[in-house]
Amino acid sequence: MSRPRVVLAGLGDTGLLTAGALRAGERRFGPLDLTGVATTPALVSGQELGVRLARPEDWRRDYLVELRRYRSLQGARVVHGAVVDADLDAGEVRVARAGGGTETLAYDVLVVATGVANGFWRDASVRSTAEAERDLRARHEQVAGAGRVAVVGGGAAAVSVAGNLALTWPDKQVDLYFPGERPLPQHHGRTWVGVRRRLEAAGVGLHPGHRAVLPESDEPSPGPVTFSTSQPPAEADLVLWAVGRVRPHTGWLPSRVLDDGGFVRTGLDLRVRDAAGDPVDGIFAIGDVAATDPLRSSARNFSHHLLARNLRAHLDGRPPKEMTLPGRRWGSVLGPQPDGLDVWTASGRRTHLPRWFQDRVIQPVAVRRVLYGGVRRG
């Protein structure tokens, strides 16, 4: 019997995790013919934007990793390019290859993990690893050269940027402007209380109730920042826009599986739905592109294990299971720091992991070996 053909459209964080979960299941359920489509031949993670801008070498070590180093992709085929079209009835997707030309990939199961564009740090451009590294250095140098930085946004990315810039450059004036009474509205209030102490100790200026007039582009720009909430303009050498203007990478999918925002209609079992709410045979979605719930909970919460389980259930004719929604976001906000890592639960409880534990246990063992299924040395 031939191996089931699985196409993973997208090899970012959730796509890679899904590949690892599928590989782990092969020992029990049998091998798969796995093909992944990646716009960059390396993982360019969307995580830890603050560390990415402030300490790029630290970020690069853990979050910019060549795909060939992941053991979960050993034996799989990785196509460098972007999915540009899909025929869901025929079970085919068309890929524009990085070197030119197109290729059609047939599948028995399609996993949509193409992610979203979010600000200046996440996009769907097809590029080489060297180009991704040049962008990493250029963004860092742009921020390093600014004496006064305004960060606009109230989500975790904005808070992470403001905190990491201030902690890395104590002499730099960093101000955070956000529209609500507090940032991190999707986290427990206790999480913000703890993070605020760290920001204030680092000298970050906090400006609640400031709703900025947004430019057309999310690219970093010179100040000033103007507001629609009657405050005077805020001067800055550089403005970083982290305002959550999320755009899903779904232009290649038919509209019948997309909601009004262009996200993929996805049930809590991670199967894709059509406009009538019925599952589309053999198609799953995961990550920020999947409209499972307002928090896009399948992008975290270890949902890749559920997807792998349900994908096998689909192939074997068994019923799927559904994910449990956490209600609030949890995890790290500021990312790894010289003194360790703070992790916040959904109930706002803080756990501090010392730096040695982060470097010797969390990253090499929990993340690389267990979560991603093994990463070879570079």
- Among 71-75, 104-108, 219-223, 360-364, top mean pLDDT goes to 104-108
Q: What is the pLDDT of residues 235-261, one digit of tens each?
A: 999 999 999 888 999 999 999 999 999
* Bridge partners for 335 per DSSP: none
What is the distance between the alpha carbons of residues 88 and 111, in angstroms, rounded to a whole number?
12
Q: Do the strands 33-38 and 246-248 form a parallel or antiparallel pair, or are they unpaired?
A: unpaired
Residues 171-185 pLDDT 10s: 999 999 999 999 999
SS3 332: coil
Delimit the domains of the chain by residue range.
5-130+249-371, 146-241
Contacts of 92 (CB under 8 A, 6+ apart): 86, 104, 105, 106, 107
Q: How far apart (Å, rounded) are the C-alpha atoms in residues 11 and 317?
A: 27
The yes-or-no answer to whether 5-130+249-371 and 146-241 have a common fold is yes
Write down the pLDDT at residue 245.
86
Fold of 5-130+249-371: FAD/NAD(P)-binding domain (3.50.50)
CATH code at 146-241: 3.50.50.60
Torsion angle in degrees (nearest 10) through CA of 337, 12, 325, 259: 130
Where residue 1 falls among pLDDT bands split at 50, 70, 90?
low
pLDDT score for 377: 85
Triad 220, 224, 225: Cα angle to 5°: 75
Q: Kindly give the interhelix angle for 156-168 and 189-202, rounded to the nearest 10 degrees.
A: 30
CB 170 within 8 A of CB 144: no
Q: Which of 172, 230, 182 is nearest to 207 (CA)?
A: 182
Q: What percent of the chain has pLDDT over 70?
A: 99
The pLDDT value recorded for residue 329 is 87
